[in-house]
Structure 1
Amino acid sequence: MTEWDVKKLRVLRTLRDRGTVTATAEVLSMTPSAVSQQLTSLAKQLGVPLLEATGRRVRLTDAAHLVLGHAEAVFAQLEEADAELTGYLRGEAGQVRVGAFSTAVPSLVVPAVRLLRSKDRPGPGVRVREAEAAQVYELLSAGDVDLALSLAAHAPTARDPRFTLTPLLADPLDVALPVGHPLARTPGLRLADLAREPWIFGGSGPWSQITTAACETAGFVPEQAHSASGWTAILAMVEADMGVALIPRMASGPERQRPGVVMRVLDADRPRRHVVAAVRRGAERNPGVARVLEALREAADGMRDR
């Protein structure tokens, strides 16, 4: 019977995800030569070539992809076993590490922590790590966090065998206008009414994509007058009559309200960004992770009610 070495399979999976031996070694805190030795040993154990040279780099063979297809099921089963063992040893206590993008921390994570503390039965401790929406999957894959909050635009596909995704919230996008703008009080404002306005949004990445996609759905391509990614900077420029911007409801709380900015709800267009939670597949059975997911869903329901 073929000998399967889980540690070496993890090295192979990390190489697939990271693309190079050097990057794999960095993630796993190994030397590149140790990574190569592990993979050479695994190939001998399995009796199939796992890597082939392409210039100065290597790529996975078809056999390696076949091996990893089966190994993902093993990894998921081990996550489930770890979850059950954690539940046995700790009950529902312990600690859950949550990686979340900036606006999700005060809007979802903090309310979820408060909900957990208000329950009669003890809940797990929550350790928060703020990260970009795209980065949280790297942290989750590397085992640096147990649960990740991100935008659906950054999430892997539902067929990715590494993760289990849970939709949490469709966050409405409102338009920010200077208080003296001619359309600031116009009834039934639509995005198309702002087609000729100067727009403020990020130069690249998810927010650029979300803004341009919403405007294109409304029938126009927005003219980018200024580039910024921080909501404080964006709202300050709107207040100074430098342009208009789409602002997610999660990012427009009382602490960010400015007297010179009017927030208008776009009921006719209903633009949204979608927030999801992700865990490594199988880890959703961990009692602590399950409790935190439940609290996050309650926090998201509370936001929708508001």
Structure 2
Amino acid sequence: MGDWDIRKLRVLRTLHDLGTVTATAEALRLTPSAVSQALSGLAKQLGVPLLEAHGRRLRLTDAARLVLRHADEVLAQLERADAELAGHLRGETGRVRVGAFGTAVPALVVPAVVELRTSHPGLEIGVREAEAAEAYALLADGTVDLALSLAAHAPTARDARFTRLPLLADPLDVALPTGHPLATAPALRLADLAAERWIFGSSGPWSRITTAACEAAGFAPEQAHAAADWHSILAMVAAGMGVALVSRMALTVVAPGPGPRGVVVRELAADRPHRHVVAAVRRGSEGAPGYATVLDALRRAATAHSGTDPAPATVQPN
């Protein structure tokens, strides 16, 4: 029987994910030489070749891929073992590190942390703002324990490393300039805005979300201006430069209270789109009491958001 060295298996898994020894060394905070030695040692222990030359690069052998299939199960089982050991603490002490995208931090993570200060004062929460790609890299290498992202940018359910948990279906409303002809139209639908000039990012998640929502409503949005920052988008809308889809969750963060000045925020009718917010943990760790405690608090924060009334129909400028 081969010697299954867990540390070396993690090196092999990281090499598979990142593709190069240099990237693997950087992710694991090792030297390239240490990565090569770990892989060479694992190959000797298991008695099978793990790497083969492919041009100027190295690639995993079929034997290495077989090893990884079993390694994922081994690593998940070790996470479960850690979770059971942590169960003795009942989630009342310890540290949980959370990585979350920009608007989720003030909208979901901060309310959860405030609640847990009272209910679980011995539980320390560390927060790190990170977009999806970074958050899942941090989750995979153990830098964070829980990642929040949009479902569209999370790893698929087929990724054996993570367990995804739904948190929130965030409604998308439409922002119009005050005085726009459709500002008071009854039962406004997204399709009613097909001829409008739109404001959204030139690339990135919000660009894809806006484009997909409009295409689902039967039209391709004409992009008049490009912006990714919510304050910039709302300022352009208030100036009459176009219309925009806005996240209900983001709006409560960037324009709390009566809402943005000079902007009418309308709830869309039957075809209202949503963006879905999910949490993820390393597979097997979802039952760890500290993680479960934080996830429960995040779910309560998400429930509070889902029950938030839409912004007022009309907000007058100064």
* TM value normalised by structure 2: 0.92
- CA deviations on 1:4-30 (whole Å, 9 max, x unpaired) are 111110000000111111100111111
- CA deviations on 1:99-145 (whole Å, 9 max, x unpaired) are 011111111111212222343x5452211111113321111011111
Deviation at 1:38, TM superposition (A): 1.1
Residue 128 of structure 1 corresponds to 127
- CA deviations on 1:142-188 (whole Å, 9 max, x unpaired) are 11111000000011111211011100110000011111211111111
Deviation at 1:254, TM superposition (A): 6.5
Deviation at 1:289, TM superposition (A): 0.6
Question: Which residue type is aligned with residue 295 of structure 1?
Answer: A
Residue 219 of structure 1 corresponds to 218
Instruction: Report if aligned partners of 2:90, 2:289 keep a CA contact under 8 Å in 1.
Output: no
Q: Are 1:238 and 2:251 counterparts?
A: no
Question: Which residue type is aligned with residue 304 of structure 1?
Answer: S
Q: Distance in 1 between matches of 2:253 and 2:206?
A: 22
Instruction: Report if aligned partners of 1:171, 1:274 keep a CA contact under 8 Å in 2.
Output: yes
Residue 304 of structure 1 corresponds to 306
Question: Which residue type is aligned with residue 206 of structure 1?
Answer: P
Q: Higher mean Cα deviation, 43-52 or 285-294?
A: 43-52
Residue 156 of structure 1 corresponds to 155
Q: Alignment partner of 1:88: what SS?
A: helix
Alignment gaps of 5+ in structure 2: 309-318
Query: Residues 202 and 122 from structure 1, CA distance in 2 versus in 1: closer, same or farther, beyond 3 angstroms?
Result: same
Instruction: Report if aligned partners of 1:123, 1:288 keep a CA contact under 8 Å in 2.
Output: no
Residue 21 of structure 2 corresponds to 21
Instruction: Report if aligned partners of 2:107, 2:253 keep a CA contact under 8 Å in 1.
Output: no
Q: Are 1:81 and 2:81 counterparts?
A: yes
Question: Which residue type is aligned with residue 246 of structure 2?
Answer: I
- CA deviations on 1:75-96 (whole Å, 9 max, x unpaired) are 1111122223334368521111
Alignment of 1:187-198 (within 5 A): 187-198=186-197
Instruction: Report if aligned partners of 1:124, 1:291 keep a CA contact under 8 Å in 2.
Output: no
Q: Distance in 2 between matches of 1:105 and 1:164?
A: 21
Instruction: Report if aligned partners of 2:91, 2:288 keep a CA contact under 8 Å in 1.
Output: no
Residue 185 of structure 2 corresponds to 186
Alignment gaps of 5+ in structure 1: none
Residue 209 of structure 1 corresponds to 208
Q: Distance in 2 between matches of 1:110 and 1:13?
A: 33
Residue 283 of structure 1 corresponds to 285
Query: Residues 147 and 185 from structure 1, CA distance in 2 versus in 1: closer, same or farther, beyond 3 angstroms?
Result: same
Instruction: Report if aligned partners of 1:123, 1:291 keep a CA contact under 8 Å in 2.
Output: no
Residue 33 of structure 1 corresponds to 33
CA RMSD of aligned residues (A): 1.5
Instruction: Report if aligned partners of 1:134, 1:150 keep a CA contact under 8 Å in 2.
Output: no
Question: Which residue type is aligned with residue 277 of structure 1?
Answer: A
Q: Distance in 1 between matches of 2:307 and 2:188?
A: 23
Residue 311 of structure 2 corresponds to none
Equivalenced residue count is 305
Q: Distance in 1 between matches of 2:132 and 2:171?
A: 17
Identity of aligned residues (%): 71
- CA deviations on 1:196-233 (whole Å, 9 max, x unpaired) are 11111111122111111100000001111111111111
Instruction: Report if aligned partners of 1:50, 1:61 keep a CA contact under 8 Å in 2.
Output: yes
Q: Alignment partner of 2:99: what SS?
A: strand
Q: Higher mean Cα deviation, 138-147 or 80-89?
A: 80-89
Q: Distance in 2 between matches of 1:133 and 1:172?
A: 20
Residue 264 of structure 1 corresponds to 266
Question: Which residue type is aligned with residue 100 of structure 2?
Answer: A
